[in-house]
């Protein structure tokens, strides 16, 4: 890339270096994208960026290979009765889909049409979220599902049950301590935005302890002051024991608690059975380390405690996230009147933040329930794990049509065999994708979508990160706009995902009305799609910094508020309190304390989740060639030897629900007794023999209706009892 001229913004397709940002994950790294002959040849981190300082990862760099990849889907596809696919013109595909959607909704009611918006719907265009909501509202269907309810649903639900401090937490802003429970931002970038190393450098500089709880000695755990390496699934008990120490020793911030918190006695009683020695013993950690961790956190003045997917997926996301909030609240880790808010948001509105508590709100059981397991929507959305049952269960309102945008149900939904059965049972399954993914290959129609460097974008989503969890997002106000920098390949008939919904609504004669954070809803013209600029102006309406200003800057910039934004004092007479003694959570703790330790001798190992550095959830054709195209089963060398296996051997991983093939790797960072594997790989069972080329789907090992949390319906997806078996001789693919 050395020597290529920098191209001013707005000259799409011009040869040279364009400034843009990656949207493969929500870290939105600023990139320099090299264009030759109108096509993308390379993308690397933008070294001129003051915050990321050139940081990017292998996923973002290899994404550049997708634009002209031979496996990129560039024509809409329709399935023929024999299961093969033929290209159809986009207008024809949209006409046919709209007609069938309208007919199904007319016959079975609007609820029979469902939508699933995956991660690649959430990130690629700032207008997608508003369009999706508007589309389903126009149809009159409440059946919108997302990964939110199979990820860390407890984050939003627990905030509802606990109440919210109406100013930010201390987060990554000069912390005295950081507690990361099952979260590995060096690989996942889930946490502070920017270069993931910066948080740890800041902690080192301040001499602040890093506390990590993870059954694997992860990249983050290796830097920890204290690393508890428990067996999985013990987080609720471990956190209850931590809270018991904090309460018993009068640590934390009793003055804050006296002023702003209710439910302390109920919490004290609920955590009483969790004595640190017994809890540590059952979890397999040193009791002194557990107590030291509790005291270290409890004595800190500023800091944050955050959970990742591991503990959420181990079966009680809401309980874990609630206990993490209780810990922060007992320690008063929320900003007070007069303190500066470095990042009040840039491309979102910035309401006044006050040092006061918004009391709990209804958080689950919201709206009309689905027809299975007593589940309903929660603050994390509809219960995604129940969607396959909703499709399969006969009766009025049964889901018959599914629009799946930027997600991969076959790879991502727990209980893969049930998910596949459900997808095959649909009358209409439309998949918006960039290649013939495993989900696309079950769809009636596959609609190819535009890739992000082919469309304009903003980093609005970065502004929302700090409100999702403490310690997440940028510490100072930051934003970037990127115009489209190349056109789609010549002859391609691709569509932006928001525009796909616009075009369907137009054909169905439905009026789209967009919710706007900063003002009144906006009705779109039913015939004429908004221009890029109009659309961005609508979805950013009322933002602290006008989107036009950010659009005028070539590249990313900091947008420090002037004068600085500070937390305002509480309103006079305000009486809201945070609740640390929610009765549902207290009942969960009571039954946890009463539950005997469970062991299943037939399935002596536990499968745990992890992320791989070179893949974002589902494998795509743009994966780097020098990395494995499969997801290895990482096991401790001791367990490998005990099973008579060598690294690279193929095995069967079996749970009570199902079995997959996997290639084993020795990994001494994994605690003995565990199998650590990422999801997103593999395909339907017929392709199991291709494990070395495509990996395997861990979702097949999960039952969606046995162990699940009542709030979101999220099943146990980590800490799943499994065993390793030899591959039957006849089918080994060696
Ligand atoms: N490279 C890459 N980045 C990604 C993704 C990806 O696929 N690849 N996926 C993205 C998505 S969708 C998400 S939601 C985020 C997730 O972000 P993170 O939650 O940070 O994901 P992981 O890096 O897998 O970290 C989870 C950790 O939980 C541990 N763990 C497993 N079970 C338990 C348990 O029972 N208790 C405890 N305490 N720990 C446990 C695992 O060992 C693992 O280290 O990452 C995002 N970023
Ligand atoms: N067993 C198990 N299951 C899990 C998890 C786990 O840890 N273990 N993690 C859960 C979590 S945290 C999440 S967030 C979900 C993720 O669930 P999903 O969002 O459903 O899964 P992804 O793999 O992110 O889906 C990406 C899909 O979008 C396509 N795609 C890639 N790029 C683009 C693009 O630019 N545009 C469009 N339109 N499509 C694109 C890919 O080909 C793929 O089909 O999975 C969940 N499922
Ligand atoms: S961390 Fe990697 S995938 Fe995520 S935005 Fe940055 S370059 Fe893209
Ligand atoms: Mo996720």
Rg of the chain (C-alpha set): 25
- CA-nearest residue, atom 2 of ligand 3: 57
Kindly give the distance from the C-alpha atom of residue 55 to the centroid of ligand 3, in angstroms, as a whole number: 9
Distance (Å, whole) CA 712 – CA 378: 6
Nearest to 484 by CA among 532, 440, 549, 526: 532
CB atoms within 10 A of CB 269: 13
CB atoms within 10 A of CB 492: 18
**Per residue in 308-331, pLDDT tens?**
999 999 999 999 999 999 999 999
Ligand 3, CB within 6 Å, residue ranges: 22, 24-25, 27-29, 56-57, 59-60, 189
For residue 718 and ligand 1, the question of a CB distance below 6 A is answered with: yes
- Cβ-proximal residues to 78 (8 Å cutoff; 6+ apart), any chain: 85, 86, 87, 88, 93, 96, 444, 445
Q: What is the mean pLDDT of the chain?
A: 96
Tell me the torsion sign for CA atoms 542, 548, 551, 552: negative
Distance (Å, whole) CA 352 – CA 104: 46
Distance (Å, whole) CA 576 – CA 589: 25
Q: In a mutational test of the pocket of ligand 1, which residue from 55, 63, 182 has the highest number of ligand atoms less than 8 Å from its CB? A: 182
Does residue 521 sit in helix, strand or coil? strand
For residue 160 and ligand 2, the question of a CB distance below 6 A is answered with: no
- CA-nearest residue, atom 12 of ligand 1: 617
CB atoms within 10 A of CB 332: 22
**Per residue in 66-75, pLDDT tens?**
999 999 999 9
The end-to-end CA distance of the chain, in Å, is 41
Kindly give the distance from the C-alpha atom of residue 152 to the centroid of ligand 4, in angstroms, as a whole number: 7
Structure tokens at 604: 């002596």
Kindly give the distance from the C-alpha atom of residue 59 to the centroid of ligand 3, in angstroms, as a whole number: 6
The residue ranges of the chain whose pLDDT is under 50 are 732-734
Residue 376 contacts residue 383 (beta carbons within 8 Å): yes
Per-residue model confidence (pLDDT) at position 734? 40
Structure tokens at 268: 């004290």
**Per residue in 356-400, pLDDT tens?**
999 999 999 999 999 999 999 999 999 999 999 999 999 998 999
Per-residue model confidence (pLDDT) at position 612? 95
For residue 317 and ligand 1, the question of a CB distance below 6 A is answered with: no
What's the Cα-to-Cα distance from 307 to each of 161, 167, 218, 310, 709, rounded to whole Å?
17, 20, 14, 8, 17
Nearest to 470 by CA among 257, 203, 191: 191
Residue 318 contacts residue 149 (beta carbons within 8 Å): no
DSSP tag of 449: B
Q: Are strands 164-165 and 357-358 parallel, antiparallel or unpaired?
A: antiparallel
Q: In a mutational test of the pocket of ligand 3, which residue from 21, 27, 52 has the highest number of ligand atoms less than 8 Å from its CB? A: 27
**Per residue in 447-470, pLDDT tens?**
999 999 999 999 999 999 998 999
Per-residue model confidence (pLDDT) at position 3? 72
Task: Say what the pTM is.
Answer: 0.98
Kindly give the distance from the C-alpha atom of residue 27 to the centroid of ligand 3, in angstroms, as a whole number: 6
Distance (Å, whole) CA 225 – CA 206: 13
- CA-nearest residue, atom 20 of ligand 2: 407
Structure tokens at 360: 């709990």
Nearest to 681 by CA among 665, 655, 701: 701
- CA-nearest residue, atom 46 of ligand 1: 188
Q: Which ligand 1 atom sits closest to the C-alpha of 614? A: 1
Distance (Å, whole) CA 210 – CA 297: 10
Per-residue model confidence (pLDDT) at position 2? 58
Nearest to 477 by CA among 459, 495, 492: 459
Per-residue model confidence (pLDDT) at position 139? 98
- CA-nearest residue, atom 4 of ligand 3: 25
Distance (Å, whole) CA 332 – CA 698: 39
Query: CA 602 from chain center: how many Å?
Result: 32
Per-residue model confidence (pLDDT) at position 517? 84
- CA-nearest residue, atom 6 of ligand 3: 29
Q: Are strands 178-181 and 164-165 parallel, antiparallel or unpaired?
A: unpaired
């Amino acid at each position: 890339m050395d020597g290529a001229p920098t191209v001013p913004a707005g000259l799409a397709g011009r040869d040279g270096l364009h400034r843009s940002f990656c949207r493969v994950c929500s870290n939105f790294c600023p990139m320099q994208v090299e264009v030759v002959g109108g096509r993308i040849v390379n993308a690397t981190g933008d070294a001129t960026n003051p915050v990321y300082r050139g940081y990017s990862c292998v996923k973002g760099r290899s994404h550049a290979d997708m634009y002209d990849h031979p496996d990129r889907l560039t024509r809409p596809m329709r399935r023929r009765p024999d299961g093969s696919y033929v290209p159809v013109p986009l207008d024809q595909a949209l006409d046919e889909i709209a007609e069938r959607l309208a007919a199904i909704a007319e016959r079975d009611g609007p609820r029979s049409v469902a939508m699933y918006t995956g991660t690649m719907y959430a990130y690629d265009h700032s207008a997608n979220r508003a369009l999706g909501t508007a589309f389903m509202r126009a149809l009159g269907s409440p059946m919108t599902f997302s990964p939110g309810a199979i990820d860390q649903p407890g984050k939003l639900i627990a905030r509802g049950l606990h109440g919210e401090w109406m100013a930010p937490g201390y987060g990554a802003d000069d912390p005295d301590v950081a507690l990361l429970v099952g979260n590995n931002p060096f690989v996942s970038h889930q946490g502070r935005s920017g270069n993931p190393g910066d948080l740890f450098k800041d902690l080192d500089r301040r001499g602040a302890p890093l506390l990590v709880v993870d059954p694997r000695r992860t990249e983050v755990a290796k830097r920890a002051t204290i690393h508890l390496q428990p067996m999985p699934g013990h987080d609720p008990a471990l956190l209850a024991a931590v809270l018991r120490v904090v309460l018993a020793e009068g640590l934390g911030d009793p003055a804050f608690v006296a002023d702003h918190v209710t439910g302390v006695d109920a919490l004290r009683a609920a955590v009483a059975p969790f004595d640190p020695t017994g809890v540590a013993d059952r979890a397999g950690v040193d009791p002194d380390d557990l107590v030291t961790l509790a005291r270290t956190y409890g004595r800190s003045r500023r800091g944050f405690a955050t959970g990742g997917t591991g503990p959420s997926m181990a079966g009680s996301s809401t309980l874990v996230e609630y206990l993490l909030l209780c810990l922060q609240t007992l320690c008063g880790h929320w900003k007070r009147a007069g303190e500066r808010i470095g990042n009040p948001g840039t491309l979102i509105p910035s309401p006044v933040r006050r040092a006061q508590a918004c009391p709990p709100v209804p958080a689950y059981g919201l709206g009309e329930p689905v027809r299975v397991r007593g589940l309903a929507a929660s603050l994390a959305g509809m219960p995604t794990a129940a969607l396959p049952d909703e499709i399969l269960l006969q009766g009025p309102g049964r889901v018959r049509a599914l629009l799946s945008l930027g997600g991969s149900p076959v790879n991502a939904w727990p209980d893969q065999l049930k998910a596949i059965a459900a997808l095959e049972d649909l009358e209409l399954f439309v998949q918006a994708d960039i290649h013939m993914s495993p989900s696309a290959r079950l769809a009636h129609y596959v609609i190819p979508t535009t890739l992000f460097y082919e469309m304009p974008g903003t980093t609005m989503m970065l502004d929302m990160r700090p409100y999702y969890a403490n310690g997440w997002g940028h510490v100072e106000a930051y934003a970037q706009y990127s115009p489209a920098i190349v056109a789609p390949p010549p002859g391609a008939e691709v569509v932006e995902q928001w525009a796909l919904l616009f075009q369907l609504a137009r054909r169905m004669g439905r009026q789209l009305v967009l919710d706007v954070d900063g003002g009144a809803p906006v009705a779109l013209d039913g015939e004429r799609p908004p221009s890029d600029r109009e659309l961005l102006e609508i979805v950013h309406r009322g933002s602290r910094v006008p989107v036009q200003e950010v659009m005028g800057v070539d590249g990313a910039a900091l947008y420090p508020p002037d004068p600085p934004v500070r937390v305002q004092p509480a309103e006079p007479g305000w009486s809201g309190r945070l609740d640390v003694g929610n009765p549902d959570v207290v009942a969960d703790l009571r039954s946890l304390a009463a539950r005997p330790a469970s062991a299943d001798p037939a399935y002596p190992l536990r499968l745990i989740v992890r992320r791989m550095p070179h893949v974002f959830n589902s494998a795509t054709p743009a994966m780097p060639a020098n990395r494995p195209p499969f997801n290895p089963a990482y096991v401790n060398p001791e367990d490998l030897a005990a099973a008579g296996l060598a690294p690279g051997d193929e095995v069967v991983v079996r749970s009570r629900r199902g079995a997959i093939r996997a290639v084993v790797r020795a990994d001494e960072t994994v605690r003995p007794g565990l199998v650590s594997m990422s999801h997103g790989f593999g395909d339907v069972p017929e392709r199991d023999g291709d494990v070395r080329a495509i990996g395997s789907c861990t979702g097949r090992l999960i039952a969606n209706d046995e162990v699940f949390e009542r709030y979101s319906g999220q099943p146990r997806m980590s800490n799943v009892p499994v065993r390793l078996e030899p591959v039957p001789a006849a089918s080994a693919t060696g």
